[in-house]
Amino acid sequence: MRLTKMLVTPGRPYPLGASVDDSGVNFALFSAHATAVYLCVYDASGVNELARVALPRQSDHIWHGHIEGLALDCCYGYRVDGPYQPELGHRFNVNKLLLDPYAKLLLGELVDHPSHYAYQQQHPDADLSFCSLDSGDFMPKCKIVDTRNLSPIPAVAKEYDQTQPSLSLRRSIIYEMHVKGFTQLFPDLTEAERGRFSGIANANVVQYIKNLGVTAVELLPVQQFASEPFLQQKQLSNYWGYNSIGFFAPHQAYLNNADINEFRQMVAALHQSGIEVLLDVVYNHTAEGDCRGPSLCFRGIDNLSYYRLHPQQPRYYINDTGCGNSVDLSNPHVLRLVMDSLRYWVEVMGVDGFRFDLAATLGREPQGFNVNSSFFDAIKQDPVLSQVRLIAEPWDIGPGGYQLGHFPMGWSEWNDRYRDTVRRFWRGDAGMLPEFARRFHGSSDLFEHAGRRPSASINFITSHDGFTLTDLVSYRQRHNDANGEQSRDGHQENFSDNCGMEGVSQDLHIQALRTRQSRNMLTTLLLSQGVPMLLAGDELGHSQQGNNNAYCQDNTTTWLSWQQDIQRDEQLQFTRRLIKLRQRFPLLCHREYIHDSCTTGSPALDWFCRQGSPMTKTLWSEAQTRTLSVVISGELEAQPQCRQALLLMLNADDESLHFTLPTISGISHWDCLIHTQDSGFDSETKGYFAGGAAKQFLLQSKSLMVFYAQFEGAN
């Protein structure tokens, strides 16, 4: 039936977006400065436009209308009319088909075409000109989604016993992964599952993640994103996905059948295995870029409301993100959009929390970053969002943009100082002992002053952004030529070390050193106070051939290889052992910061030099010392009378050195749980691996040992 025969009424201004009811569909769109809003209705294919209707009413800047009897398989988009005055911040152009900011699903591809630009690209005054080309044929369409009768997603299954108490953030082990990169080459998946949410939901994939021992997956952006025109022109794409254009819609390429239930089924499958799902979300900027970018959604709906513009020259965007624009969360309507989006992903899609990309931008107000900004206050008072995991990337590139340690109570933060310190310590940089101790301790100097706990620190050695763990010990320089920017992109300083040769090496000595260094950093990560985050593939020795900015490499550079070999299997088994060790000893993830010594109480954390003596101010200041021992002790939560201790001996020196066990009252016997030394290196210390009474051990260069002891008299 043609839409012209259907009844169009004013409808209601809330909820925003396309809302299905018993009689039809209600449409509502915010625009404070538009003069007219036209709803374009398409058939189920998204190709044929059925009708164009002006939304009949505006209520407090919300344009709305209801269409009775509209088929639920229809698609739609908007055209918004108003002034085209870039010098005043207005960029309306009714010739541009625009996405609904509240669209739950998109259909069709975004095809790079001159019609997407509201201005004439070849005009001498560029964006001040006006382009009348129609973009409708080159835009994806919004799909109507009825969410009224969706079944609830089961909560995360939690095991209640002494070895795995109910999961809290401090007990979490986060696993950062990419939907396509993880599944594209995974064995025994169907072609339809490769690169998609259904691949993550596959029982074999879920079992792998569960067997690894991690408690939460953190997915790189899965909200609808677009590839920048400059990448498309180079036959590349935005692989990571940090270029959002739809805050509610799952990314089309990760779906098989254009059904949001595919995402929900993935979440349910992970939840049933006790694994939380966290989303990496991008609300700080959009895919529309700077003043010369395309008009795809927000820019054409109400540029002046959605973006932060220069007060004196509103033609230009404030670019604190480095991506061309910055979303204006000080506008209450824009803030509502973000809050509605977050609640939707929790309440409808079932996720357990979020990692916020460039989160400093979200807290920016006219005077700068504000820990009491409207965004943080809105989260704090929200009964749903205040209860989920909230993780900040605590920086952007704007003035005062580095805000590590300054986010509100209840938030955790990516701790790049932890990353850099651990890398530099194991590389052998001078003077690293005090900084290493602070980071290992949970970075109390950064977080405790505000009453926050060790779980505020998300510790990581590697992430999607930068070298993989294998590349961190194989390359001194970035090798990003494939990105087409002459290797000028990506971090210049990575605090990496190639162990004697740049890139792949057949030298057995270099290979052994690289293995030790990888395991040293993994062990440090899993034994530090705070919440560890592991980059997917590091447990398999994945390499990106030295590319430390592989955001546009949708190929085997970033796709994980699952081919088995001895070295990869040994690395995987070592990682699993480490994770089990952390789960076995809750004292590694203590609720509060540990400031006591083992001589005064429990829990306790004590530092020793390699000779077994307590660290002194003089010893801490010895810049050339690259060795350290630490003892963490405490009572078991389930058995308060059982006091245990872990001893970690660290040798970041280039020479093999003798370490003496520290003397601790109540401990006479240590057992080695794990070590990173080369196979066979323990010839001089055979007894201690079985728990012997040896007091001194030779640690190979660039290696560590972890011991366990139970205090005498403990049950």
Residue 640: per-residue pLDDT: 65
Q: Among residues 221, 172, 537, 156, which one has the least CA distance to residue 355?
A: 221
Q: Mind listing the pLDDT tens digit for each residue in 450-472?
A: 999 999 999 999 999 999 999 99
Q: Mind listing the pLDDT tens digit for each residue in 374-432?
A: 999 999 999 999 999 999 999 999 999 999 999 999 999 999 999 999 999 999 999 99
Q: Is residue 686's pLDDT more than 50?
A: no
Q: Mind listing the pLDDT tens digit for each residue in 216-243?
A: 999 999 999 999 999 999 999 999 999 9
The amino acid sitting at 497 is D
Residue 27: per-residue pLDDT: 98
Mean pLDDT for the stretch of residues 334-351: 98
Report residue 45: phi and psi, to 5°.
Answer: -80, -20
d(CA 598, CA 421): 26
Q: Mind listing the pLDDT tens digit for each residue in 135-155?
A: 999 999 999 999 999 999 999
Q: Long-range contacts of range 432-440, CB-CB < 8 Å, 24 or more positions apart? A: 432/626, 432/652, 433/620, 433/622, 433/625, 433/628, 434/620, 434/621, 436/628, 437/607, 437/620, 437/628, 437/630, 439/415, 439/528, 440/524, 440/527, 440/528, 440/529, 440/630
Q: Is residue 694's pLDDT more than 90?
A: no
Q: Quick check: 318 and 392 in contact, CB under 8 A?
A: no
Residue 6: band (very low, low, confident or very high) from pLDDT cuts 50, 70, 90: confident
Residue 685: per-residue pLDDT: 43
Residue 714: band (very low, low, confident or very high) from pLDDT cuts 50, 70, 90: low
d(CA 176, CA 355): 10
203-212 helix and 566-584 helix, angle to the nearest 10 degrees: 60
Residue 684: band (very low, low, confident or very high) from pLDDT cuts 50, 70, 90: very low
The residue among 669 and 456 whose pLDDT is bigger is 456
Q: Mind listing the pLDDT tens digit for each residue in 617-662?
A: 999 999 999 999 999 998 876 666 788 999 999 999 999 999 999 9
Cis peptide leading into residue 13 (ω within 30°): no
Q: For the chain, what percent of residues have pLDDT higher than 90? A: 88
Q: Among residues 406, 474, 410, which one has the least CA distance to residue 446?
A: 406
pTM of the model: 0.95
Residue 126: per-residue pLDDT: 80
Q: Is residue 1's pLDDT more than 60?
A: no
Residue 159: band (very low, low, confident or very high) from pLDDT cuts 50, 70, 90: low
Residue 602: band (very low, low, confident or very high) from pLDDT cuts 50, 70, 90: confident
505: left (phi over 0), alpha (psi -120 to 50) or beta: beta
d(CA 486, CA 578): 39
Residue 125: per-residue pLDDT: 81
Report residue 417: phi and psi, to 5°.
Answer: -70, -35
Mean pLDDT for the stretch of residues 692-698: 76
CATH superfamily of 594-710: Golgi alpha-mannosidase II (2.60.40.1180)
> Where do runs of H (alpha helix) occur along 535-647?
566-584, 617-620
Q: Is residue 540's pLDDT more than 50?
A: yes
Residue ranges of domains in the chain = 594-710
Residue 612: per-residue pLDDT: 96
Q: Is residue 601's pLDDT more than 70?
A: no
Report residue 369: phi and psi, to 5°.
Answer: -65, 135
Cis peptide leading into residue 394 (ω within 30°): no
> Where do runs of H (alpha helix) occur along 428-507?
433-440, 444-447, 469-472
> Where do runs of H (alpha helix) occur along 185-293?
197-201, 203-212, 229-233, 261-272
Q: Is residue 86's pLDDT more than 50?
A: yes
Residue 162: band (very low, low, confident or very high) from pLDDT cuts 50, 70, 90: very low
Tokens 């067997």 correspond to 211
d(CA 290, CA 287): 9
Instruction: Report the sign of the C-alpha dihedral through residues 442, 446, 447, 449, in that order.
Output: positive
d(CA 446, CA 611): 30
SS (HEC) of 568-586? HHHHHHHHHHHHHHHHHCH
Rg (CA), the chain: 28
Mean pLDDT over the full length of the chain: 93
Q: Is residue 537's pLDDT more than 70?
A: yes
Q: Mind listing the pLDDT tens digit for each residue in 272-310?
A: 999 999 999 999 999 999 999 999 999 999 999 999 999
d(CA 184, CA 187): 9
Active site residues: 357, 393
Q: Is residue 614's pLDDT more than 50?
A: yes
